[in-house]
């Protein structure tokens, strides 16, 4: 076999395999990229309180993560426990004050998204925003994690005002 | 001298000795994950089980070749095999990484003596220096190619320690077989002290050998880690999966007889680079996807290693010293490859572990499972991750038992497949940069091969 032919065959075989794998998506065979939490994420049509509360949680995580410039997923793992929260704050260099501000921003985003999707009426959403802005951070985190109370009965958040609003709701 | 040693030595014993020692360069590759877990060390530390052997071999190869000229090649071969056997025993009994690394260095010292001296003995049984060079290079290439498979088999069937322990009787048996030659040589010590000028080593061929060997280290080390640690295959399964490479190497060796050395060296380096680049672009986490790449790597390895070794030895004497230079170049290349690539892929593994965790969390959050099932599943998955520590986790147990509700069951199965896919993608992608760097090593070997074209016939 001539030298040129052997080298030509080697080049052809190598190039053919690399091109084939590129065509089959080899360059993008990597973990799926997570969505930017600052981008809007439309709510799936919630069919009940559980689903609405879940969407609220996801929106809350998006809002807080956007504020902290981290992914929604990293924040979700961080909020699972006190120790994971501390580790997260240490890893990303986030102070308690920044975390508190982010959690409150998350609650605001969740209320906005709930209102935009038509799950919360503006009558409930507006005072809810005011109440959420003054919630202690632990309660704000608890609200992001489990928002069923909002959709079952707004009183838990708004006190007497919520009860009054409840009576106004259809 | 050669006439004196020709009778009692045999071509088979010498070839097996060379293959045995050079197989040790790669034989533990499939056992590394097991060693890493059993001795509780980091990936970087366990890579030194390979590095220590190859680095020592590289450093002592040329001095060993000089010693074989001074002391007599048969005596040094026997002495080297005895040291190799003792060190292998120590490796098999090692209960800490420090002892294992020390014993690996001793193994390399004995092995270098045996391999370099064997090249000096070989012409007496092959009939010519050229035939000796071909037989010696082939024995080394076959040993290096077969080593990982045998190591994987022993690790799975017995233990990683058995890899070293089975070498003890083999090395002793070879030493016994060669002992008569050593005794005969002792009676003719004056002949053994004959000194010929060594001449300058073939710089281009040795430089190319070093670069190709760096790429080869990546091919063996990274593929094995990908299969066992990334895709969670058993050592025996991984051994079967990478058996394509030595088979392709045998086929590549046949091509060697029908083309000239320079073309074989260049074509081999190109095939090696192509195979490694394709491994960096795997489109799925399946053994099947690695087979075309392994075919190219195996064929490339056979073509280029044999051509370059023969070129480094051709027309140069004494062969033992120039053989020592090729051993030094090859194993220095392996060390360089491992030292460059280990930090790259360990860093990439960390990054991809984080990416997979985020992608998996996203899949769970966005799944259509009911919220209470998601919370339960998230807790179970967190437990699995804790149990598996740094390893790529097996997620299936976290999904058991599956929900009774058909719709939730289907959603759970879909999510399980989705998470497994994310893990496979992460594990595979973590090796991409390292394979590309290894491909660059192989391509870089074309420079000294091209340079040699102007000055020296390869």
Cα B388 off chain centre by: 27
Domain that holds residue B435: 200-458
Phi-psi region for residue B196, left (φ > 0), alpha (ψ -120 to 50) or beta? beta
* Interchain contact, B362 vs A15, CB within 8 Å: no
Q: Do B263 and A7 touch (CB under 8 A)?
A: yes
Calculate how close chain A gets to B58, using CA atoms only, in Å.
30
Q: Is the dihedral of CA B94, B23, B154, B425 positive or negative?
A: positive
Of B17, B267, B222, B243, the C-alpha closest to B140 is B17
Tell me whether residues A7 and B352 touch, CB distance under 8 A.
no
Q: What are phi and psi of B393, to 5 degrees?
A: -80, 155
Mutate to test the interface with B, among A25, A31, A58, A83 (most CBs of B within 10 A): A31
* Domain parsing of chain A, residue ranges: 1-30, 49-168
Record: contact B362-A10, CB cut-off 8 A: no
Q: Does B255 touch chain A (CB under 8 A)?
A: yes
Nearest-angstrom CA–CA distance, B151 and B356: 31
Query: In this prediction, does ipTM exceed 0.85?
Result: no
In a shared domain, residues B179 and B228: no
- The per-residue pLDDT for B279 is 96
The model carries a pTM of 0.81
B433: nearest CA partner in chain A: A27
Within 8 A of A29 by CB-CB distance, chain B residues are 281-284, 425, 428-429
Contact B266 A10 (CB under 8 A): yes
Residues of A with CB under 8 A from a CB of B: 1-4, 6-7, 9-11, 13-15, 17-18, 21-22, 24-27, 29-35, 50-51, 53-54, 58, 61, 71-74, 76-77, 80
Q: Across the interface, do A72 and B362 touch by the CB < 8 Å criterion?
A: yes
In a domain, B18, yes or no: yes
Q: What is the pLDDT along chain B (458 residues), one digit of tens a residue?
A: 444 444 445 778 888 999 899 888 878 887 887 888 888 888 778 888 988 999 999 999 989 988 888 888 888 999 999 999 999 999 999 999 999 999 999 999 999 999 988 888 888 777 777 788 778 887 887 787 778 888 888 888 899 999 999 999 999 999 998 888 777 765 454 444 444 555 788 888 999 999 999 998 877 878 888 888 888 888 888 888 888 888 888 777 666 566 788 889 999 999 999 999 999 999 999 999 999 999 999 899 888 888 888 888 877 767 778 888 888 998 899 899 988 988 898 888 888 888 888 888 888 888 887 777 777 778 778 777 777 766 677 778 878 888 888 888 888 888 888 888 888 898 899 999 999 999 999 999 999 998 875 444 45
Which residue in chain B has the smallest CA separation from A4?
B263
In Å, what is the CA distance from B178 to each residue of B59, B71, B121, B432?
25, 15, 11, 46
The verdict on a CB contact (< 8 Å) between B284 and A22 is no
State whether B219 and B260 are in the same domain. Answer: yes
Cα angle for residues B325, B330, B332 (degrees, 5° grid): 90
Are residues B130 and B232 both part of a single domain? Answer: no
Nearest to A31 among B271, B370, B429 (CB): B429
Whole-angstrom CA distances from B423 to B35, B357, B360 are 24, 8, 8
Residue B385 and residue B442 in one domain: yes
CB pairs under 8 A between A and B: 125
Distance from CA of B212 to the nearest CA of A (A): 15
Cβ-count burial B372-407 (b if 16+ within 10 Å, e if not): ebbbebbeebeebbeeeeeebbebeebbeeebeeee
d(CA B383, CA B387): 6
- Answer yes or no: do B221 and B132 share one domain: no
- Which of B318, B33, B342 lies closest to B192, judged by CA? B318
Residue A36 above 50 pLDDT?
yes
Measured at the CA of B118, the angle between CA B112 and CA B120, to 5 degrees, comes to: 110
In angstroms, what CA-CA distances link B193 with A42, B72, B186, B250?
A: 86, 7, 11, 38
Rounded Cα–Cα distance for residues B321 and B415 (Å): 61
- The three state secondary structure string of chain A is CCHHHHHHHHHHHHHHHHHHHHHCCHHHCCCCCCCCCCCCCCCCCCCCHHHHHHHHHHHHHHHHHHHHCCCHHHHHHHCCCHHHHHHHHHHHCCCHHHHHHHHHHHHHHHHHHHHHCCCCCHHHHHHHHHHHHCCCHHHHHHHHHCCHHHHHCCHHHHHHHHHHHHHHCC
pLDDT value at position B190? 40
C-alpha–C-alpha distance, residues B31 and B62, integer Å: 29
Q: Is residue B192 part of a domain?
A: no
Predicted pLDDT at B170 = 94
Residue B194 included in any domain: no
Looking at the structure, tell me whether residues B171 and B312 fall in a common domain: no
CATH number for B353: 1.20.1250
- B142 plus B246 within the same structural domain: no
B27: domain CATH number is 1.20.1250.20
Q: What is the pLDDT of residues A123-165, one digit of tens each?
A: 888 888 888 888 887 888 887 877 777 777 644 444 444 454 4
Q: From CA B292, how far away is CA B270, in angstroms rounded?
A: 14
Question: Does residue B251 sit in the same domain as residue B333?
Answer: yes
pLDDT of residue B255: 66
Q: What's the number of domains chain B is made of?
A: 2
Same domain assignment for residues B240 and B148: no
Residues B244 and B392 in one domain: yes
- Of B126, B157, B184, the residue that ends a domain is B184
Structure-token pair, residue B423: 């893990």
- Print burial letters for A133-160: b (CB count within 10 Å at least 16), e (below 16): eebeeeebbebbeebbbbbeebeebbee
Contact A7 B266 (CB under 8 A): yes
Residues B263 and B320 occupy one common structural domain: yes
- Is residue B126 within 8 A of residue B75, CB to CB? The reply is no
Which DSSP symbol is given to B398?
Answer: G
CA–CA min distance B381, chain A (Å): 12
Q: Is residue B191 part of a domain?
A: no
pLDDT computed for residue B439 by the predictor: 96
| Minimum-distance CB partner of A29 among B264, B300, B428 | B428
Least CB–CB distance from A10: residue in B271, B355, B357: B271
């Amino acid at each position: 076999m001539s030298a040129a032919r052997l080298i030509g065959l080697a080049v052809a075989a190598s190039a053919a395999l690399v091109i084939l794998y590129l065509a089959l998506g080899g360059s993008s065979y990597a973990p799926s990229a997570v969505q930017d939490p600052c981008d809007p994420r439309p709510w799936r049509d919630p069919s009940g309180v559980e689903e609405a509360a879940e969407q609220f949680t996801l929106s809350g995580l998006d809002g807080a993560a956007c504020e902290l410039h981290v992914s929604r997923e990293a924040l979700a793992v961080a909020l699972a426990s006190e120790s994971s929260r501390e580790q997260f704050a240490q890893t990303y260099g986030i102070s308690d004050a920044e975390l508190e501000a982010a959690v409150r921003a998350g609650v605001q985003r969740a209320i906005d998204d709930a209102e935009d999707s038509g799950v919360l009426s503006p009558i409930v959403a507006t005072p809810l925003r005011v109440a959420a802005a003054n919630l202690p951070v632990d309660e704000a985190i608890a609200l992001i994690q489990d928002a069923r109370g909002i959709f079952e009965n707004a009183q838990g958040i708004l006190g007497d005002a919520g009860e009054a609003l409840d009576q106004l709701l259809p | 001298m050669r006439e004196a040693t020709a009778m009692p030595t045999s071509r088979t014993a010498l070839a097996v000795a060379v293959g045995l020692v050079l197989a040790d360069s790669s034989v533990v590759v499939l056992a590394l994950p097991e060693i890493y877990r059993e001795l509780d060390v980091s990936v970087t530390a366990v890579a030194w089980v390979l590095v220590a052997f190859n680095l020592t071999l590289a450093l002592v190869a040329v001095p060993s070749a000089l010693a074989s000229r001074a002391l007599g090649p048969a005596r040094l071969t026997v002495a080297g095999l005895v040291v190799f056997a003792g060190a292998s025993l120590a490796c098999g009994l090692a209960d800490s990484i420090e002892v294992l690394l020390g014993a690996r260095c001793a193994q390399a010292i004995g092995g270098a003596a045996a391999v370099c001296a064997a090249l000096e003995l070989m012409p007496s049984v092959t009939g010519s220096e050229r035939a000796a060079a071909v037989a010696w290079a082939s024995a080394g290439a076959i040993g290096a190619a077969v080593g990982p498979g045998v190591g994987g088999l022993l690790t799975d069937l017995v233990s990683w320690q058995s890899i070293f322990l089975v070498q003890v009787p083999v090395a002793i048996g070879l030493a016994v077989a060669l002992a008569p030659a050593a005794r005969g040589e002792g009676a003719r010590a004056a002949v053994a002290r004959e000194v010929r000028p060594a001449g300058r080593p073939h710089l281009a061929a040795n430089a190319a050998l070093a670069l190709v060997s760096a790429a080869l280290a990546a091919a063996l080390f990274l593929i094995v880690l990908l299969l066992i640690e990334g895709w969670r295959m058993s050592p025996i399964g991984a051994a079967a999966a990478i058996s394509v490479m030595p088979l392709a190497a045998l086929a590549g060796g046949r091509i060697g007889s029908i083309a000239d050395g320079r073309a074989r060296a260049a074509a081999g380096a190109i095939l090696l680079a192509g195979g490694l680049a394709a491994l960096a672009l795997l489109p799925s986490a399946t053994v099947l996807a690695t087979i075309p790449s392994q075919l190219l790597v195996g064929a490339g390895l056979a073509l280029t290693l044999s051509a370059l070794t023969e070129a480094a030895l051709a027309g140069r004497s004494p062969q033992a010293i120039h053989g020592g230079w090729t051993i030094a170049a090859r194993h220095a290349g392996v060390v360089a490859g491992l030292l460059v690539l280990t930090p790259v892929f360990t860093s990439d593994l960390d990054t991809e572990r984080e990416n997979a965790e985020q992608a998996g969390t996203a899949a769970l959050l966005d799944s259509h499972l009911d919220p209470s099932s998601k919370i339960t599943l998230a807790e179970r998955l967190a437990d699995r991750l804790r149990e598996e520590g740094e390893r790529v986790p097996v997620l299936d147990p976290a999904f058991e038992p599956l929900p009774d509700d058909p719709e939730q069951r289907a959603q759970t199965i879909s999510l399980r497949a989705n998470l497994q896919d994310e893990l496979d993608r992460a594990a595979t992608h973590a090796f991409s940069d390292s394979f590309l760097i290894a491909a660059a090593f192989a391509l870089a070997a074309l420079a000294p091969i091209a340079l040699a074209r102007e000055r020296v016939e390869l």
